[in-house]
Amino acid sequence: MSTVGQIVKGNNASLIIREKKGVGLELGDLVAIEDGARRYIYMVSALEYGSLVGEDRLFTSSGSMLEGTNPNIEIPDKDLRLFRKVYINPLIEVRVVGGSPKAVSPRSIPSFLSKVRSIDRDDFSFLERPKNEIFLGKLRSGTKTLDFDYYLNGEEALSHHTLISAQTGRGKSNMVKVMLWEAMRHNKFGILVMDVHNEYFGVGGAKGLRNHPDAAKSLVYYSKNQPIGQKKLIINLKSLKPWDLTDVLELTEAQVGTLQHFYREYKRDWVRELMTDRPERDGELQVKGIQLISVQTLRRKIGNLFKVKLGNTGVPPVCEDEIFNIETMGESTINDIADRMEEGKIVLIDGSSISDETGLIITGAVTKEVFHRYEGYKDQGVLRDRPQIGIVLEEAPRVLGEAYGDNIFGKIAREGRKYKIGLIAVTQIVSVIPPEILANIGTKIIMGNEMAQERRRLIESASQDLSAYEQIIAGLDKGESIVSSIFSKFPVPIYTPLFEDLVQEETPQRKADQVFF
| Residue 129 within a domain | no
SS3 235: strand
Does the pLDDT at position 255 exceed 50?
yes
User: What beta strand segments (E) does 207-275 contain?
Assistant: 219-223, 231-232, 235-236
SS3 216: helix
72-to-77, 223, 287 alpha-carbon distances in Å: 13, 77, 100
Give the mean pLDDT of 226-233.
Answer: 94
Provide the phi-psi class of 420: left if phi over 0, else alpha when psi is between -120 and 50, else beta: left
pLDDT of residue 515: 47
For residue 61, which amino acid is it? S
311 in the same domain as 347: no
476 in the same domain as 339: yes
Does the pLDDT at position 510 exceed 90?
no
Does the pLDDT at position 69 exceed 90?
no
Does the pLDDT at position 472 exceed 60?
yes
User: What beta strand segments (E) does 276-381 contain?
Assistant: 276-277, 308-309, 311-312, 318-319, 324-325, 346-350
Domain boundary among 57, 90, 124: 124
Does the pLDDT at position 509 exceed 60?
no
With contact defined as beta carbons under 8 Å apart, do 447 and 166 qualify? yes
pLDDT of residue 73: 65
31 in the same domain as 91: yes
Give the mean pLDDT of 296-302.
Answer: 96
Give the mean pLDDT of 153-178.
Answer: 93
- DSSP annotation string for 16-54: EEEEPTT----TT-EEEEEETTEEEEEEEEEEEEEESS-
| Residue 273 within a domain | yes
Q: What is the mean pLDDT of the chain?
A: 91
With contact defined as beta carbons under 8 Å apart, do 193 and 349 qualify? yes
User: d(Cα 503, Cα 67) in Å, to the nearest integer?
Assistant: 56
CATH number reported for the structural domain that contains residue 153 in this entry: 3.40.50.300
Helix (H) or strand (E) holding 157: helix 154-159
501 in the same domain as 354: yes
| Residue 131 within a domain | no
**101-139: pLDDT as tens digits:** 788 888 899 999 999 999 988 888 777 788 889 999 999
| Residue 132 within a domain | no
**411-429: pLDDT as tens digits:** 999 999 999 999 999 998 9
- Give the number of domains in the chain: 3
Least confident among 144-148, 159-163, 279-283, 290-294:
279-283
- Altogether, the residues listed in the chain come to a count of 517
292 in the same domain as 246: yes
Domain boundary among 81, 103, 124: 124
CB neighbours of residue 353 within 10 Å: 16
504 in the same domain as 387: yes
Does the pLDDT at position 514 exceed 60?
no
| Residue 400 within a domain | yes
| Residue 130 within a domain | no
304 in the same domain as 229: no
Domain boundary among 60, 91, 124: 124
pLDDT of residue 403: 56
- Per cent of the chain over pLDDT 70 is 96
With contact defined as beta carbons under 8 Å apart, do 446 and 458 qualify? yes
Does the pLDDT at position 173 exceed 70?
yes
User: d(Cα 311, Cα 50) in Å, to the nearest integer?
Assistant: 79
Least confident among 39-43, 69-73, 194-198, 202-206:
69-73
pLDDT of residue 89: 95
CB neighbours of residue 57 within 10 Å: 13
Does the pLDDT at position 449 exceed 70?
yes
User: d(Cα 397, Cα 431) in Å, to the nearest integer?
Assistant: 9
**303-313: pLDDT as tens digits:** 999 999 999 98
Does the pLDDT at position 55 exceed 90?
no
b/e map 312-346, b = 16+ CB within 10 Å: eeeeebebeeebbbbeeebbebbebbbbbbbebbb
Does the pLDDT at position 195 exceed 60?
yes
182 in the same domain as 312: no
For residue 356, which amino acid is it? D
Nearest to 51 by CA among 79, 87, 81: 81
**Domain of 263?**
238-325
With contact defined as beta carbons under 8 Å apart, do 33 and 7 qualify? yes
For residue 318, which amino acid is it? V
487 in the same domain as 384: yes
410 in the same domain as 320: no
| Residue 83 within a domain | yes
pLDDT of residue 25: 95
pLDDT of residue 517: 40
Does the pLDDT at position 70 exceed 80?
no
Give the mean pLDDT of 146-162.
Answer: 93
Q: Which residues contact 383 (CB under 8 A, 6 or more apart)?
A: 374, 377, 419, 420
